[in-house]
A and B are shown apart, each in its own frame.
Chain A
Amino acid sequence: MKTDDLITMLSTQVEPVDRNRMGRSLALGVAFAAAVAALATLATFGVRSDLDHVHSLTYMIGKLTFTLTVVVIATIYLLRLARPGGERETSLLVLAAPFLAVMMLGALTLSTAPRSHWDHAVLGTHWIECIISIPLIAVVPFALTIWAMRHAMPTDLRRAGAAAGLVAGGLSATGYALHCIDDSMPFVALWYGATIALCAVTGALLGPRLLRW
């Protein structure tokens, strides 16, 4: 095939391009992912029952602040990574910032608490439920985010996959935080942080396969 012939074919009957198309499908994908994560947690666990206590509400808002910060940063990066060359505008440090912040707060809490409280502060009451639920709830949101990303052309498939995993993990953790009654900072830093990071790593591993174009 002559390249000139290909160009002639591609230039025949050119249609105007909808400049918002990619942003729209990504926004739609993330919105569906958020809905699925919220519904999955509410259907399985329901909202925590002690919200009439001011403390519980405060702690829940604290956890949601962390998970939603992760979601917002990851979504912004997803939008950047969707375009060829977008990886130049990403920095690992920014992505890691919310995780580092909760780790520091967690370490601070432990350092001021007596040793005998450490076990409970780190393990809480439901750490196993937490590390199983967050990755499981993230599966469908991850698929939806990847589906949306396939309308784009990321040129760094590892980072794009990692961002999709981070969005899914962050949304899943947000949903789970509505139910979770373990409120200690070290618990959030370790189990939330680790499971969301696991989702990001999984995304980075799957990205080159799922997002190739």
Chain B
Amino acid sequence: MTANETELKALMLASLAGDGRSHHELLVRLSGYLRGFYRGRLSHTGRSVSEAEDLVQEALMAIHTGRHTYDQAAPLMPWVHAIARYKLLDYLRRTRLTVTDVGLDHAEDITAVDDHAGAESAFDLGRLLARLPERMRRAIELVKIEGLSVAEAAARCGASESAIKVNIHRGLKALGMEIAREGKP
């Protein structure tokens, strides 16, 4: 965990500076941590693996859209853990499970295992995107899926670069909310 912390925090700092490769690496490694955490919690309730994966994706979205809330002077993993825990509690509230069902009180004792198998959620990205307002969907499609730069996307849409950035940010936030809504069984 301590070795992890140092490496993951370095990745986080690079990602905050705008390094896409570090961001990718960080999210891949955190997804393993989150998967172990959620599968461990949900296995007590007899819920499916795909429901744990729904939560992994929700938490990843929150980590991505909320990375400006990370205090760079503080360690990274408590921040990640607080998000993972919040999303689990939110899920329990939505599904009317209780904390005792999943034994959250022991969450801190159990080191989440790294687990990369069968990583697919029940969400359909295309369908979720279709629910977003046009300008957000378009900005996400051009930049985050087709890989155009913000400047190119701005030229293509006839919008300013900051408008594209704002639309991507709001769109991803809205997407996270859609995932949370959809995750209600």
List B contacts of A83 (CB < 8 A).
69-71, 79
A12 and B119 in contact, given A17-B16, A212-B90 (Cβ under 8 angstroms): no
Q: How far does the alpha carbon of A178 sit from the alpha carbon of B173 in the complex, in Å? A: 42
Secondary structure call for the B interface: helix
Which of A2-10, A51-59, A93-101, A111-119 is near enough to bind chain B?
Answer: A2-10
> CB distance A13 to B121 under 8 Å?
no
The answer to whether A84 and B66 have CB atoms under 8 Å apart is yes
Q: How large is the interface on B (under 10, 10 to 19, 20 to 34, 35 or more residues)?
A: 35 or more
Q: Are A1 and B120 in contact (CB under 8 A)?
A: yes
* Given A18-B68, A84-B86, A155-B82, A13-B119 contact (CB < 8 Å): no
* Cα distance, A10 to B118, chains bound together (Å): 20
Chain B contacts of A16 at CB under 8 A?
16-18
Contact yes or no, B150 A15, CB < 8 A: yes
With contact pairs A1-B123, A19-B72 given, residues A84 and B83 touching in the complex (Cβ less than 8 Å): yes
Complexed CA–CA distance, A83 and B23 (Å): 20
Q: How far is the CA of A16 from the CA of B53 in the complex (A)?
A: 28
Give B23-48 as 1s and 0s: 1 = Cβ < 8 Å from A's Cβ atoms: 11001100100010000000000000
Known A-B contacts A22-B68, A22-B69, A155-B85; the reply to A11 vs B23 at CB < 8 A is yes
A82 at the interface (CB under 8 A from B): yes
Inter-chain contact A10/B23, CB cutoff 8 Å? yes
Task: Name which residue of chain B comes closest to A3, CB basis.
Answer: B119
Chain A residues, Cβ within 8 Å of B24:
7-8, 11
Q: Which A1-44 residues sit within 8 Å CB-CB of chain B?
A: 1-19, 21-22
Task: Mark each residue of chain B from 67 to 78: 1 if its CB lies under 8 Å from any CB of chain A, else 0.
Answer: 111111000001
Which residues of chain A come closer than 8 Å to B125, judged between CB atoms?
1, 5-6, 9
Residue of A nearest to B173 (CB): A213
Do B66 and A153 have beta carbons less than 8 Å apart? yes
CA distance A21 to B166 in the complex (A): 13
CA A189 – CA B147 in complex, angstroms? 60
In the assembled complex, B135 has its CB within 8 A of some CB on chain A:
no
Q: List A contacts of B83 (CB < 8 A).
A: 84, 153, 155
Which listed residue, A7, A21, A85, touches B82 by the CB 8 Å rule?
A: A85
A12 to B145, CA, bound (A): 7
Q: How far is the CA of A164 from the CA of B176 in the complex (A)?
A: 24
Asked whether any CB of chain B lies closer than 8 Å to the CB of A152, the reply is yes
The residues of B that contact A5 with a CB separation of less than 8 Å are: 125
Determine the residue in chain B with the shortest Cβ distance to A15: B18
- Which among A2, A6, A15, A21 has the greatest number of chain B C-beta atoms within 10 A? A6
Q: Which residues of chain A are near B69, meaning CB under 8 Å?
A: 22, 82-84, 152-153
Contact A4 B72 (CB under 8 A): no
Q: Count chain B CB atoms within 10 A of each CB in A11, A82, A86 and give the residue with the most.
A: A11
Q: Contacts of B165 on A, CB cut-off 8 Å?
A: 15
Which residues does A use to contact B, with CB under 8 Å?
1-19, 21-22, 82-86, 88, 152-153, 155, 212-213
8 of the cross-chain contacts (CB-CB < 8 Å) are A3-B57, A11-B21, A17-B67, A17-B68, A82-B69, A83-B79, A85-B79, A213-B62
Known: A12-B144, A153-B69. 5 other contacts (CB 8 A): A10-B172, A21-B68, A22-B68, A84-B83, A153-B86
- The list of the 3 closest CB pairs from A to B, nearest first, reads A85-B82, A16-B18, A84-B82
